[in-house]
Structure 1
Amino acid sequence: MELAEIVERVKKIKAKIPNEESTKLHVILPTLKALGWDIFNPDELMPETRTEEGRPDYALKINGRTVAFLEAKSVRERIFTDGRVNSKHARQLARYCFDRGVDLGILTNGLQWALIKAYEPGKSVEERVILAVDLMNQSMEEVIERLRWLSKDFLLKYVNIPREYAKIPTPTPTGGEDYPKQEASKEGYQFKTLYVSAQEVEEPPSAVLVRELFGKDLKDCFPRAVFVNVNGRWYRVQISYGEQWRGLKLAWSSVTSVVVRFLMDKGIRDFPEVGKYLSRVPRVSDRHWNAVARIGDLYLYLPENGKKAVEVLRKIEESTGTEIALEILGPKCNAVS
């Protein structure tokens, strides 16, 4: 199952989960599997690892090395209350980690997830929460965006987690319902979003630098591949997963979102404001939100054509100090390149 499907399923079955063991089996393990962890491989997930402070429920491993301990609680036991993490459970988890020299701890009841640094001088365990997720008090988009930092691919990149993701969600009054209604506001609206993978490559000989495409007529051209140079290294960036997109094929409408997502994953935050095409609030009326993607805290109006996409990409280059190149195809593109 995809992560979004697991999240929906968890919310539906939560009332049927009576205790911690069933929480692990029916909620936590399926979520970890959707996040890319091989839950049947002892080199990736090992239950009940011994420490001098006790036994955390799971050790998460990468290349055989423990990178995080996970402490599970029943769905009926809250991890967050009144905007604060349960300090008793968090301190116990931190002791497990500290005893074995593990940097990260994950505290969860399957509905609420907290990623905690085991130790940081001068900070209490509550202040060491670096990621908070609450399935019942955040939109699906927010949940997916935050949960992915617990995936096998992203957990070790925790230093790049946006600071605002540490804020613990607080319950929204819902007239007796146990999940907030999705209202027509930017907080509740399900904007498009996507996730990417990247592979380091040599300088792409078949691609054209964005600065050379700037101002060109790209009417009969379309992008086949996108490359980004960060700190002297070229990466080919590809779409791996998308929400609310009709298809995942690279297009002029998606290329800016692909680049922004990749740069965010690299820890880059110095993005420019480019009118409605790249901003920190939607700059079009809500009836046009179906043409808006949300990547992290940014809103991207989908470019209508290649010329506009290249203009936005050029602004991103100038602001972030990166280089972007596109491999393009089309009947008249040889002349352009």
Structure 2
Amino acid sequence: MERAVLNVMSRIGMHRTLYEKNEEAVKQHLIGEIMSALGWDWNNPEEVRPEERTEDGRADYALLINGEIVAFLEAKNLSVNVIKRDEPLRQLARYCFSRGVRYGILTNGAKWVVVKAFAEGTSLRDRILFTVDLEEEPLERAIIKLSLLSKENIRKLERLATLLTAFEMTYKSLLNEGFEEEALLNYLRTRGQPSVVPAAKLSGVEVPKAVYVYEDGWKPLPLGDRSLKGALLAVLDYLEGRSSGEKREEVRKAKKLLSKMELPPEKVVILLREIEKDEGLRIGVEV
């Protein structure tokens, strides 16, 4: 998906004048690239049907799953600001309403508007589920929102859009309450992971249930003795296993020596921190 978005942005940069005047080029070069990356077989009429007839005219594309139209997609050239202009959105809504199609997608290739076609007591603007602006938004945000239009997700579009909006509002509210951004991101990253105390925060009184090193997530190490010394020896076992030659022999000797010594917990904590620094490791203990 990232590659498709970057391709589209590159084409817009090189051929903006063409796309501002030629809607067909927008369809073929920009929209087709994005929708194909989202899992739609763009040239298969069983999934993407062009020029679909409605009582109010022809929708540029109907998106189908198992023969059912799940959304209409209307294309405009790049000069049309589909986010700000109302008439193209009203046109799309009429197409959807006339055929009982739940969702409408309006795009000029760079800007995307996704709308729920009908809901009693609401205005059309109220029913916009989300917008995407590839030229103004960070790539990561645009990709996540566009992913809601994938063939896999489109039946869940409204629910996912609501969850995404709620997530963003909650995140902003927590920042406004004074929480640090990095703390919030770490909170989300560590969901479902063990309660690990980093070596830098160990005090020496902990009784380990497990010891970990960080490799794209906390990786548990075999722990023999449930003590901080046992955690240290487990880390040395790990280092021995990933080393070779003289380095491996040095680790083996250090492990043999330390295993025979009486080590105060405070000394073990210092050694774990030194290993982190020297080896570029992150070590943690579950207590």
TM class by shorter chain equals 0.5 to 0.7
Q: Measured at CA, do residues 300 and 30 of structure 1 come closer, stay the same or move farther in structure 2, by a change above 3 Å?
A: same
Contact map agreement 1:48 1:58 (CA 8 A) in 2:
yes
Contact map agreement 1:48 1:56 (CA 8 A) in 2:
yes
State whether structure 2 residue 9 is matched by structure 1 residue 8. yes
Aligned ranges 1:160-309 → 2 under 5 Å:
160-163=159-162, 282-283=181-182, 299-300=185-186, 309=193
Tell me what 1:30 maps to. Answer: 33
Q: Of 49, 53, 57, which aligns to 1:54? A: 57
Structure 1 residue 136: deviation in Å?
1.4
Q: Distance in 2 between matches of 1:31 and 1:309?
A: 35
Aligned ranges 1:120-131 → 2 under 5 Å:
120-131=119-130
Structure 1 residue 159: deviation in Å?
2.4
Provide the secondary structure at the position in 1 that maps to 2:91: helix
Aligned ranges 1:103-118 → 2 under 5 Å:
103-118=102-117
Q: Measured at CA, do residues 72 and 332 of structure 1 come closer, stay the same or move farther in structure 2, by a change above 3 Å?
A: same
TM-score by length of 1: 0.50
Structure 1 residue 301: deviation in Å?
6.9
TM-score by length of 2: 0.59
Structure 1 residue 133: deviation in Å?
0.4
Contact map agreement 1:94 1:105 (CA 8 A) in 2:
yes
Tell me what 2:194 maps to. Answer: 310
Identity, % of aligned pairs? 38
Q: Distance in 2 between matches of 1:307 and 1:29?
A: 37
State whether structure 2 residue 72 is matched by structure 1 residue 69. yes
Q: Distance in 2 between matches of 1:335 and 1:27?
A: 60
Opposite residue 45 of structure 1, the aligned amino acid is: V
Q: Measured at CA, do residues 51 and 113 of structure 1 come closer, stay the same or move farther in structure 2, by a change above 3 Å?
A: same
Q: Measured at CA, do residues 6 and 157 of structure 1 come closer, stay the same or move farther in structure 2, by a change above 3 Å?
A: farther
Contact map agreement 2:8 2:33 (CA 8 A) in 1:
no
Provide the secondary structure at the position in 2 that maps to 1:56: strand
Tell me what 1:324 maps to. Answer: none
Opposite residue 43 of structure 1, the aligned amino acid is: E
Opposite residue 120 of structure 2, the aligned amino acid is: P
Q: Distance in 2 between matches of 1:307 and 1:144?
A: 23
Q: Distance in 1 between matches of 2:30 and 2:115?
A: 20
Contact map agreement 1:114 1:129 (CA 8 A) in 2:
yes
Structure 1 residue 333: deviation in Å?
8.3
Q: Distance in 2 between matches of 1:51 and 1:148?
A: 27
Runs of 4+ with deviation above 2 angstroms: 1-14, 159-166, 298-303, 306-309, 328-336
Tell me what 1:90 maps to. Answer: 89
Q: Which protein has the larger Cα radius of gyration, Structure 1 or Structure 2?
A: 2
Q: Distance in 2 between matches of 1:22 and 1:77?
A: 14
Q: Measured at CA, do residues 13 and 163 of structure 1 come closer, stay the same or move farther in structure 2, by a change above 3 Å?
A: farther
Structure 1 residue 8: deviation in Å?
3.4
What's the Cα RMSD here?
Answer: 3.7
Opposite residue 38 of structure 1, the aligned amino acid is: D
Q: 1:269-318 deviations in whole A, cap 9, x for unaligned?
A: 999xxxxxxx975236xxxxxxxxxxxxx623797xx9993228xxxxxx
Opposite residue 33 of structure 1, the aligned amino acid is: S
Q: Measured at CA, do residues 25 and 335 of structure 1 come closer, stay the same or move farther in structure 2, by a change above 3 Å?
A: farther
Structure 1 residue 10: deviation in Å?
4.2
Structure 1 residue 11: deviation in Å?
3.9
* Higher-helix-fraction structure: 2
Contact map agreement 2:148 2:161 (CA 8 A) in 1:
no
Q: Which stretches in structure 2 are left out of the alignment for 5+ residues?
A: 172-177, 197-217, 227-287
Q: Measured at CA, do residues 87 and 64 of structure 1 come closer, stay the same or move farther in structure 2, by a change above 3 Å?
A: same
Q: Distance in 2 between matches of 1:141 and 1:307?
A: 21
Structure 1 residue 43: deviation in Å?
1.1
Contact map agreement 1:6 1:31 (CA 8 A) in 2:
no
State whether structure 2 residue 24 is matched by structure 1 residue 21. yes
Provide the secondary structure at the position in 2 that maps to 1:127: helix
Provide the secondary structure at the position in 2 that maps to 1:8: helix
Contact map agreement 1:3 1:35 (CA 8 A) in 2:
no
Contact map agreement 1:97 1:105 (CA 8 A) in 2:
yes
Q: 1:4-60 deviations in whole A, cap 9, x for unaligned?
A: 433433442451423111111111111111111110111110000111110000001
Q: Measured at CA, do residues 270 and 128 of structure 1 come closer, stay the same or move farther in structure 2, by a change above 3 Å?
A: closer
